[in-house]
Structure 1
């Protein structure tokens, strides 16, 4: 049962990241890294760095 819950929660994170990453110039397949622990935090950090660079 825990495995099914993990898959559902991972899908709830990965699917929006597939749509957000191309806007930051990142291959959408990198969204799959959100399925591992701390992967989402790393991708959010990279997205923030790219947004800061794009704004200036």
Structure 2
């Protein structure tokens, strides 16, 4: 009985931590001009590191539209 309660509490804790990580990555991807769903990669081992490097070194579509706007 005690182990069932601990397993449920562990699952809830993992979901909360996943949301704490995924939501900022989701917003970063959206602001960079990529689909927000890429933020889900932040909870996948190895893919999260690839996502960080991708965001750090890729040309962001959001920056391309700002650079091409001659009115600014």
- Larger mean Cα displacement after TM superposition, 31-40 or 4-13: 31-40
Conserved? CA contact 1:21–1:31, under 8 Å: yes
> Bigger relative contact order, structure 1 or 2, given CA contacts below 8 A and separation 6+?
1
**TM-score, structure 1 length as denominator?**
0.69
Moved over 6 A (4+): none
| Unpaired segments ≥5 residues, structure 1 | none
Give the structure with the larger helix fraction.
1
**TM-score, structure 2 length as denominator?**
0.58
Conserved? CA contact 1:21–1:28, under 8 Å: yes
| Unpaired segments ≥5 residues, structure 2 | 1-8, 64-72
Question: Larger Rg: 1 or 2?
Answer: 2
Q: How many residues align?
A: 52
How large is the RMSD of aligned CA atoms in angstroms? 1.9
- 1:47 Cα deviation after fit: 0.3
Conserved? CA contact 1:24–1:50, under 8 Å: no
